[in-house]
Amino acid sequence: MIELTLAEIAEAVGGRLVAGSGGAGPDTVISGEAQTDSREVRPGQIFFARRGEETDGHLFAGKAVEAGAALLVVERELDEHELSVERELEAAGDVPQIVVPEATEALGALATEVVRRVRARGGLTIVGITGSNGKTTTKNLVAGMAERLGETVASEKSFNNEVGGPLTMLRVRDTTETLVAEMGASAEGEIARLTAMAPPHIGVVLTVGLAHAGEFGGIETTFRTKSEMVRDLPETALAVLNRDDPYVSRMAEMTRARVRWFGLHPEAEVRASDIDAGADGTRFTIHAGGESLPVHFPVLGEHHVMNALAATSVALELGLPLAEVVDVLQRQTRAARWRMEVMGGRDGVTIVNDAYNASPDSMSAGLRTLAQIRKPQGRSVAVLGAMSELGEYSVEEHIRIGLQAVRLRISELVVVGKEARQLHISAINEGSWDGESVFFETQDEAYDYLMRTLRPDDTVLVKSSNSAGLRFLGDRLGEAFA
């Protein structure tokens, strides 16, 4: 974070400064990053004591002090007793506190001020990325390309909400040239709030699908929410839009910014052709700015080509030559942790762990990839769990995925968890299938079954929403066949 005095931070967050007994005062300078998890706090950092649905950050403020926090942002003033952990800390009362009405709002307010100051000094380009699928992969690709040009800050993991977004923004320094912010939402207005904190120079919209449909209330609401990314962009900004997605392409009429299309459509300015997906990634030709270059993109899954095109569109705007863009793409080995992550190898068994997120679109794409990369001498095995946050669409979409597994002639379907049972029922009701589907309530049961039945040269896809936790099953299988 940039250097700010305690007085400046208090003013930014609308809080009251309570100076510690260690001599810190209004003019004391703080420059450490912000944390909301006391386990992540390092010396010199700021701890925001948020109240969550399951716990209260104020209960862990003492842990933050013990870890070396230089400032506490709290909703009530804490005394020395509350800040002591297991043993009496002589310095427990030394740490200054800023008391605010609401810690999460204070986190966003501080991020807004830090970004505003760095932007005012010039040299910072902000890239905002949203979409129902592909945000993290695209963010990682853009970050890798931007790093070729200068110091870059990008969202860690999938930090893309009202907490993760500001935490990323607060890592910006005076020397940062590019901020790559993944911006997600589970309700209308959330992306607008994030873009208000860090107004993008480049706004990217990847897809509009049924991810989080249960929370949004339908595809049209999802469309309105995702369009918040480009709706307020100024004429000087760039909107990077998916020409192949009918909902995203409608957003061109909703923005004052310049529009750059990406996709497979002939009108796309950044386009791919000659796509050939296989077990070692995807080969295609990329066309942009009058140039055409061959690409071997090692990330599994034809659907990731669209993420590569979106990232390329951003990188070209930042000034990176197409040849360097291709070099970055060809150095990628995985989209991100637990996203089409290739594991295993013993006896020719390949485990593809893609169980960090799952929407109907990404589940469908995963099954198509599995069918494409199966070895001729081996079987395709889909280990699937529930797709969460689909609301009234849940039963319908699980049925559709079960039917798709059959129609793609996946050799075996292993369904895990009662929330995904409809997927299993859908598959076994498809009488023309000569494969089989089995169901297990627990991961341990599924693991034991797979360890007994997997054969040499089998290819296994493990896919579910994060809440279903099948990524851990994927890790176990990957280790077992390492």
Tokens 């055409």 — which residue? 292
Determine the straight-line distance between the first and last CA of the chain, rounded to whole angstroms. 41
Tokens representing residue 217 in the block: 């209330």
Instruction: Give the integer Cα–Cα distance in Å for 279 and 352.
Output: 10
The DSSP bridge pattern shows strands 380-384 and 412-416 to be: parallel
Q: Is 134 annotated as a binding residue?
A: yes
Q: Is 133 annotated as a binding residue?
A: yes
Please, which residues have CB within 8 angstroms of residue 311's CB and are 6 or more apart in sequence? 138, 141, 142, 145, 325, 329
Report phi then psi at 382, rounded to 5: -105, 120
Contact between 368 and 407 (Cβ < 8 Å): no
The DSSP bridge pattern shows strands 16-18 and 97-99 to be: antiparallel
Q: Is 249 annotated as a binding residue?
A: no
134: left (phi over 0), alpha (psi -120 to 50) or beta: left
Contact between 210 and 360 (Cβ < 8 Å): yes
Tokens representing residue 45 in the block: 């950092």
Helix 6-13, helix 103-121: angle, nearest 10? 110
SS3 239: strand
The DSSP bridge pattern shows strands 281-288 and 270-278 to be: antiparallel
Q: Is 135 annotated as a binding residue?
A: yes
Q: Is 353 annotated as a binding residue?
A: no
- Whole-angstrom CA distances from 303 to 53, 141, 189, 271, 362 are 35, 14, 28, 14, 8
- Whole-angstrom CA distances from 369 to 76, 170, 310, 380, 385 are 52, 38, 20, 10, 17
Binding residues for ATP: 131-137
Binding residues: 131-137
